[in-house]
Chains A and B, each alone.
Chain A
Amino acid sequence: MRSSWKIAAIGLVTATAMALSACGGSTQPSSGHDTAVTGDSLTVWAWDPTFNVYAMKEAGKVYQKDHPNFTLNVVEVPWEDVQTKLATYAQSGQLDELPDIFLMQNNAFQKNATNYPQLFTALTDAGVDYTQYSPSVVNYSTVDGVHYGVPFDNGAAIAAYRTDVLKEAGYTLQDFTDITWSDFMTKATDVLAKTGKPMLSGLSKSVDLIMMMVISAGGSLFTEDGKPVLVDNEILGKAVAQYQQMVKAGVFLEVNGWDQYVNGFVNDGVLGVINGCWILGSVQTATNQEGDWGLTNLPKLDGVSSATNYSTNGGSSWAISSKANFGLAADFLKATFAGSTELYDTILPSSGALANWIPAGKSSVYEKPQSFFGGQPIYSTIVDFSTKVPKFTPGAYLYEAIDALSVAVTKTLSGGDAKAALQEAQDAVEFAQQ
């Protein structure tokens, strides 16, 4: 029996060694790419057929007008799977199956570009004019001053409220515009007392709202050189305290799942949303509430000199892979997502896909009044919001920091010591960075 265990142990060790030896491969970033436009076919990974995939297909049509032989193969890959595939490809050293272009969540961009540089190509020679984007959005896909992405999906934060119910409570949309969070608390508490409904909701283990507050005041969870700062971070501390105050007062309803969150504002349970502008697609599924919504900016943090009413949550950018036909991929992105108002005018009405590319926001399509929001020209308003978002330092380990912060906030909400919880969160991020 003993000898059979020995053999089993040797077998296991051998198998593990073989498995580990199979991993590895080059970790060098792509260099020396050819900028000449050759070939006529590109493969792209993106998620969401009615949004990103649709936008990319339309971009293909725009590019085909000047390049009749051009073909575009858009493969639908959900974001989580893009991440799994990229990690697998990078760690196995097998990059042959990489597409030419892939979409990447802004929050994860720096981590991927830092940890797996062999998957990316720098866009220094791509000819994209980055001055036509807000610095806050370009920063997500910039590592050590080098651009790796073309910003696409606008994640500018918005506040949208049920104006019909607010009116019954004696308020207008203007009362919730350009205000501070303490103003918001006063008014939202009054609305709750009069209507019995909270103004906002969010997932119980999500810190999206706290992050939006931090970004709106020019804060971050990291220093410029990438060190986590969750303890003694004045802006973060104020944001966490503000969030807790709202939850305890009942003006912010914590829910347990995404469907519950959407159900809240779609079925009259909650009177508003504060989130990335992409949430408006879900808001507008409540077709019976057409004309009852209004859109405005966020409240700003009290007592912070850098505080603004503008923030961001989410968004994504296109990256060119190290296995790409770089010349064609760069020319395609430059001519479409970084240079075609026609493209943005087409995709906006059909999918609600909003541009980060500032010139697109000046188009007449963006100025069109939206009946769901009482005739407000919400799209040009959101593009305007996006240009006012303070520059944000995401840090390569943003997702880890957000997860750790989420645990800390849950602990403090259940009565734990805030400082100790934030210290634990900071320790967790520092450990992840090792």
Chain B
Amino acid sequence: MIKVIRKTALYAFLTIVAVASVFPLWFMLVGATNTTQDVLSSRLWFGSNLLRNLRDLTGVQDLTGALWNSTVNAVTATVLALIVCSIAGYGFEVFHSRGKDRVMSILLLAMMIPFSATMIPLFRMFSTMGLGNTTLAVILPAVSTPFMILLFRQSSRSFPHEILEAARIDGLNEMTIFFRIFIPTMRSTYAAAAVIIFMNAWNAFLWPKVILTSNASQTMPMLVSNLVAGYVTNYGVLMLAVLIASLPTMIIFLVLQRSFANGITGAIK
């Protein structure tokens, strides 16, 4: 009897948590099909305004351009960051020395500096280099982050050194070992890192907003921000834009969900 009561309480609690987690997504989904008045009156079922919202959204904003820019920025930053940070993390662990430990300490301290403190010097640097309003200026600061290097370094610790030694005895050079043995073995870590980097790059707002100065280079978070900048907010259109902006990260997360969990916990396949 006590067991049944416990289970009932547990399921009731989990149901409440699940509803609380899913509710914002549901509200966003149905809101995308409703009018401003419906959204404001918290209507919780689908309306018939989806096409009109889409027409209004594409009428005032360059949706396809923003999607394309965000995709290019996020995919390029993810690929480059995976390569750079994994090589750095691998190097710190496998070619270990006291000097590298000290460099790592400095890198970790750099994690404590908020972006807003480095933004102005960074802007000055990119402007002086003539990279203002370029995709390169958006991507480069995201390519190497202390957190990602730390993640790969920690994961490299669980990489068996016996495999490394066996590969060296078999005559493989260090680059081949990294690309043909380390990367396939650490797939979960790469998946976890890819999800985090992609989400950060896709959602990046402050830096792109400062460094980009033309409508043509606008990204999805900038587009969403534009929709709430006016005197009158069309909440149906806003919900639709937020839904579209959220879909890629949701899809990436769902596809890599299992690997993400393994990667974060440090599992090796």
Q: A residues within 8 Å of B by Cβ?
A: 3-5, 7-8, 11-12, 15, 18-20, 22-23, 47-51, 73, 75-76, 78-81, 84-85, 88-89, 91-94, 96-97, 99, 258-259, 262-263, 266-267, 278-279, 281-282, 285-286
Chain B 83-125 interface mask (CB, 8 Å, partner A; 1/0): 0000000000000001001100110111001000111110111
Q: A22: which of B37, B102, B125, B206 is its contact (CB, 8 Å)?
A: B125
Q: How far is the CB of B196 from chain A (nearest CB, A)?
A: 24
Contact status A51-B127, CB under 8 Å: no
Contact status B123-A94, CB under 8 Å: yes
Q: A285: which of B41, B102, B127, B232 is its contact (CB, 8 Å)?
A: B232
Q: Determine whether B171 belongs to the interface, using a CB cutoff of 8 Å to chain A.
A: no
Q: How far is the CB of A256 from chain B (nearest CB, A)?
A: 14
User: Mind listing 20 A-B residue pairs with CB under 8 Å?
Assistant: A4-B102, A8-B105, A11-B109, A19-B120, A22-B120, A22-B124, A47-B229, A48-B229, A50-B60, A50-B230, A75-B214, A80-B229, A81-B225, A93-B124, A99-B213, A262-B233, A263-B40, A279-B231, A285-B36, A285-B232
Contact status B133-A97, CB under 8 Å: yes
Contact status A8-B117, CB under 8 Å: no
Task: Say whether chain A's binding surface is mostly helix, strand, loop, or mixed.
Answer: helix
Given A263-B40, A267-B40, A286-B37, answer yes or no on A88-B231 (Cβ-Cβ < 8 Å).
no
Task: Say whether chain B's binding surface is mostly helix, strand, loop, or mixed.
Answer: helix
Q: How far is the CB of B226 from chain A (nearest CB, A)?
A: 5
Q: Determine whether B235 belongs to the interface, using a CB cutoff of 8 Å to chain A.
A: yes
Q: How far is the CB of A378 from chain B (nearest CB, A)?
A: 16
The A-contacting residues of B in range 51-95, CB under 8 angstroms, are: 60-61
Q: Determine whether B176 belongs to the interface, using a CB cutoff of 8 Å to chain A.
A: no
What total of chain B residues lie within 8 Å of the partner, measured CB to CB? 44
Expressed in whole angstroms, the Cα–Cα distance for A93 and B98 within the complex equals 40
Q: How far is the CB of A57 from chain B (nearest CB, A)?
A: 12
List of A residues within 8 angstroms of B121 by Cβ: 18-20, 22-23, 92
List of A residues within 8 angstroms of B61 by Cβ: 49
Expressed in whole angstroms, the Cα–Cα distance for A50 and B61 within the complex equals 11
List of B residues within 8 angstroms of A22 by Cβ: 120-121, 124-125
Q: Determine whether B128 belongs to the interface, using a CB cutoff of 8 Å to chain A.
A: yes
Given A4-B102, A85-B210, answer yes or no on A96-B132 (Cβ-Cβ < 8 Å).
yes
List of A residues within 8 angstroms of B37 by Cβ: 266-267, 285-286
Q: A4: which of B101, B113, B132, B133 is its contact (CB, 8 Å)?
A: B101
- Nearest residue in B to A90 (C-beta to C-beta)? B120
Q: Determine whether B215 belongs to the interface, using a CB cutoff of 8 Å to chain A.
A: yes
Q: Determine whether B187 belongs to the interface, using a CB cutoff of 8 Å to chain A.
A: no
Expressed in whole angstroms, the Cα–Cα distance for A78 and B205 within the complex equals 13
Q: How far is the CB of A194 from chain B (nearest CB, A)?
A: 24
The A-contacting residues of B in range 160-211, CB under 8 angstroms, are: 206, 209-210
Chain B 218-247 interface mask (CB, 8 Å, partner A; 1/0): 100000011011111101000000000000
Contact status B132-A76, CB under 8 Å: no
